[in-house]
Chains A and B, each alone.
Chain A
């Protein structure tokens, strides 16, 4: 009897151990000399097929390395939350992380991703803004994989020439709206209280020569240039009346619907709608629109044409087992050939300016290469800081309050600046930022 019980306990324990062993993946017959990497990234639909194909090719070129695909949510904030939880638990998988453009400093300051400098990454071959966005305390932490950039869409049948200034854009919009049978809306953008509002604001801000945080780490979002930028956006809603109040609840898709159905003269959006809007089956504006960079204000001397920068970066998990192999994969995926293939398969913009001279790219992205390059060259990263997410939340609320007329632009921006400064104090960021600035200095 007693023996039986011991036997029972032992075999149960054994079963559990086996199960644990299988779950952790040790049960798989694996080559002890093989290096295993895990890659997480956008893996849906055509993008998923492309990633699988490129990983397969990489493994053929590097027989000692096996890459496994780990699925992560496609929604950026969900993926962010998951990454943060894993990294807090010091989990080494996935070994390669796909970061949104505004996350790199946060992950770098937290020590969750490795600096890439010792591998000698070819910084100069990428658009400068995409490198700036991935640099923290003088070190490069991620390589830009593809770029997203804010663009101004225009109905060429109504406004044949690209407006040179924001003021011209508003005048063009008014003229086109007042024509008989003209569209209902002059310009549509993303004005709901979310990250999209910040990207739009950054563009107007640059157009008037303003910044959110300057090079010395001072919060300057309440300076007169910034107030004027916000006033200009507000005037579009209430004074020049070119933007419908609806935009204050709109995201990218609502703006696209309005423009695609022929209801707007201009639209601020990312490159992604080009494909759908060029399709005559679903679009009323196919062949009747063009894109260009957002113009600068003609009334602000320090203003310059500015596009918000988005897109994805690849970085190495600081707890990963094989960082060198991981860098090899990152270098491979961000090499010109893979980038070009990516543009051809899913229309995402390369982060290497040289590719914009390549004729093969012309058929891959639906807009003139020169316009695309100009837009990315005028791209400005949103503030490069580890506390970006909370900073953005503060700004989203205050900008929205000003735009729905709960507050005057000046007061809203003063309040935003005060709260961002308080955030900087609370998180010890002041010390970290001056430290970072010192390390950046040669």
Chain B
């Protein structure tokens, strides 16, 4: 009896103590989300007050389903996410393995690798734009000198070539972050496993496949979840580099939403787009956490 009431008391105290935190979460996360959803059920065009603000149910969502520009944007986002993350994981793993070795100046190398990650995205995007922009730009000059291109090209007027600077910039900027996460994972692996394997005559490739990668899986999955969610929200990089062009062939969903919401001030439709993006990223996060069993911190169960 006494124990139960004591537990009840503790629980009550616990709730009281976390109440402010819960209140803040409700205020900054749940309330805006709810409001955005409510807004998405209305026709609300800030520029056209004569239309009023009628409740239209799911009309905005139906418009999204029929909107080819939205589906194209979703395709671009998925393409960007898959390609850039694959490259980042591959290169990041390579870097992490290299940095995990014991060598002189390792601390310096680890710090140096992080430099691109420390540069603000907009600045990095402007930098890459400058490299690729004009026919006399650095990228063209290098490629022509190396004999890869016969003459300078205009990168931003074809969808296929406009993606090159976008993906390069993202890989350049984010690989260090990936490498660092993986490096942290590598450092958790017990070195005696390698010693035992070496004694048993396993070569480096076998050690990588059967020790490093399986034990690195949690770190890889955490990296994946971070990067996928980032990839789906990509905005500033593309906004600066291509503006979504040529036409709309590199436009991601976040840029399209920004456009509907803040350029055209279509609050109803833009809110519906935001809700859709939220649902997609939430779904992806659930998939990673539940489906792949990513543990975001905490003990093994």
Contacts and interface: CB of A to CB of B under 8 A. Distances in A.
Contacts, number: 76
Interface centre among B50, B249, B259 (most CB of A within 10 A): B50
A77 B47 CA distance: 13
A397 interface: yes
Interface stretch (A278-286, A345-353, A399-407): A399-407
B246 A393 contact: no
A401 B69 CA distance: 13
A389 interface: yes
A88 B245 contact: no
Interface residues of B, number: 27
A427 B45 contact: yes
A85 B49 CA distance: 12
A88 B51 CA distance: 13
A325 B265 CA distance: 32
A79 B48 CA distance: 18
Contacts of B246: 193, 248, 400-401, 404, 406
A249 B154 contact: yes
B158 interface: yes
B45 to A, nearest CB: 7
A400 B47 contact: no
A401 B244 CA distance: 12
A84 B51 contact: no
Residue with the greatest number of chain A CB neighbours at <10 A, chosen from B49, B50, B51, B247: B247
Contacts of B157: 245, 248-249, 404
Interface SS majority for chain B: loop
A276 interface: no
B135 interface: yes
Given A389-B47, A390-B264, A400 B247 contact: yes
Nearest to A245: B154
Interface string B20-50: 0000000000000000000000000111111
A330 to B, nearest CB: 23
B119 interface: no
Given A81-B262, A393-B264, A110 B48 contact: yes
**Closest 5 pairs (CB-CB, A-B):** A401-B247, A404-B246, A245-B154, A404-B157, A193-B245
28 contacts: A81-B265, A84-B46, A84-B47, A84-B265, A85-B46, A110-B47, A111-B49, A193-B246, A194-B243, A244-B135, A245-B157, A246-B135, A246-B154, A248-B154, A248-B156, A248-B157, A249-B157, A389-B47, A390-B264, A393-B264, A397-B247, A400-B245, A400-B246, A401-B246, A401-B247, A404-B157, A427-B45, A427-B51
Interface of B: 45-51, 133-135, 154, 156-159, 243-249, 259, 262-265
Given A387-B47, A404-B246, 6 more contacts: A109-B48, A109-B50, A110-B50, A244-B135, A406-B246, A406-B249
Interface of A: 77, 81, 84-85, 88, 106, 109-111, 192-194, 244-246, 248-249, 386-387, 389-390, 393, 397-398, 400-401, 404, 406-407, 427-428, 432
